[in-house]
Amino acid sequence: DGELVQYHYGLKDLVTILFYIFIAIILHAVVQEYALDKINRRLHLSKVKHSKFNESGQLVAFHLTSVIWCLYVVVTEGYLSNPRSLWENYPHVSLPFQVKFFYLCQLAYWLHALPELYFQKVRKEEIPRQLRCIALYLVHIAGAYLLNLTRLGLILLLLQYLAEFFFHMARLVYFTDENNEKLFNVWAVVFVVTRLFTLTLYILVIGFGLPRVDSQALDPERGNFFSFLFNNILFRMSVLLLVCLFQASVMWRFIHFQLRRSREYWNEQSSRKRAAAGTKFSLSPSPGYHENGVVKAENGTSPRTKKLKSP
């Protein structure tokens, strides 16, 4: 009673992950059959929109669950109230049950997404993009788990999933009503804020936190893999530069997307105005009056111009 049990990672985690892969496949099928398929039958979407709707629907359910779960973990473990805990006593080899269980479920979900590409009959042109997304998530989550940076990984996942939730929620709303794009504006604000918090967190932990760790020697048995490298200011600045460049590339793609979206919106508005003006002009009555099917001018003469006879 009152004993706090801590956990490590090991080969038995692979069996646990395999079990929860099957659980994730079952939950994926339940959400698809009892929610998304019923909505799709009502909306009568095209094949392209149908595929994107299913993708966003599944990710909305997953990201919402992960955000609530991750927020509960970081609050109960005190990682938000005490930011120093993100690097103090590194390496964080011993994990509370809920932290370990969260990471194993995250790995299981993104691994289950690989066979789902076949089950969902994803279009060939969409497979490279989804494979790239799955690989990035697996590399970052497994890296944080195996390199004992689980506390930092939790905060970063919380920020990432929050922005992704609003994006896919905006897509669902857009598919139901193409004139409603307000939620995309909310996603844009959340995306920028989360990028700034992510960059600040990297600078705080890598630039100031890890270099102050007491144990700076390479000790793989204790799980200390690279904190000694952060004593070298050149290495530390190089890592921070790579992080800043990566975040800058993400922001550039985001700005480019917003500019293209704004340009398409204004082009669509201008084309609608031109179409409305053309319709109004075509429906406007011609001057004069009709007599026996012939348009007469107000003075009774024909509006048709007379040909002048050559002299």
Condensed to tens digits (0 to 9), the pLDDT of residues 22-47 reads 999 999 999 999 999 888 888 888 88
Let me know if 251 is exposed, middle or buried by CB neighbors in 10 A (0-12, 13-18, 19+): middle
The residue count of the chain comes to: 311
- Cβ atoms of 142 and 136 within 8 Å: the answer is no
Q: Please tell me the predicted confidence (pLDDT) of residue 309.
A: 44
pLDDT in tens, 179-203: 777 888 899 999 999 999 999 998 8
Kindly give the residue spans of alpha helices, DSSP state H, lying in 80-149: 97-119, 127-146
224 beta partners:
219
Look at residue 148 in the predicted model and tell me its pLDDT. Answer: 87
More confident residue, 299 or 240: 240
Predicted confidence (pLDDT) at residue 307 exceeds the cutoff of 80: no
257 sits in which H/E element: helix 233-283
The encoded tokens of residue 84 equal 């120093």
Q: What whole-number distance in Å separates Cα of residue 270 and Cα of residue 268?
A: 6
Please tell me the distance from the alpha carbon of residue 5 to that of residue 9, in angstroms, as a whole number: 14
Band (pLDDT 50/70/90 cuts) for residue 311 is: very low
Give the pLDDT confidence score for residue 162 in this predicted structure: 96
User: For the residues 140-166, what does the mean pLDDT come to?
Assistant: 93
pTM (2 decimals)? 0.82
Across the range 220-241, mean pLDDT stands at 71
User: pLDDT at position 264, please?
Assistant: 81
157 versus 263: the higher-pLDDT residue is 157
pLDDT at residue 93 is higher than 70: yes
Query: In degrees rounded to 5, what are phi and psi of residue 214?
Result: -65, -50
What gap in Å lies between CA 210 and CA 235, rounded to an integer? 12
Kindly tell me the burial class for residue 166, based on how many C-beta atoms sit within 10 Å of its own C-beta (0-12, 13-18, 19 or more).
Answer: buried
d(CA 205, CA 84): 9
pLDDT score, position 119: 85
Q: Assess whether pLDDT exceeds 90 at residue 229.
A: no
Spatial distance between the Cα atoms of 155 and 158, rounded to a whole number of angstroms: 5
pLDDT tens, residue by residue, 258-282: 888 788 878 877 887 888 777 765 5
Whether 183 contacts 173, CB under 8 Å: yes
From 198, 193, 85, select the one nearest 149 (Cα to Cα). 85
With a cut of 50, say whether residue 310 has pLDDT above it. no
Q: CA angle, 142 as apex, 141 and 146 as ends, to 5°?
A: 125
> Which helix or strand (DSSP H or E) is residue 295 part of?
strand 294-296
The DSSP element (H or E) to which 280 belongs, if any, is helix 233-283
Predicted local confidence at residue 109, as pLDDT: 97
For residue 89, pLDDT over 70 is answered with: yes
Instruction: Give 29-77 as a DSSP string.
Output: HHHIIIIIHHHHHHHT--HHHHHHHHHHHHHHHHHHHHHHHHHHHHHHT
Q: Which residues, other chains included, contact 206 with Cβ-Cβ below 8 Å and sequence gap of 6+?
A: 230, 236, 239, 240, 243
311: Cβ–Cβ under 8 A, 6 or more apart, which residues? none
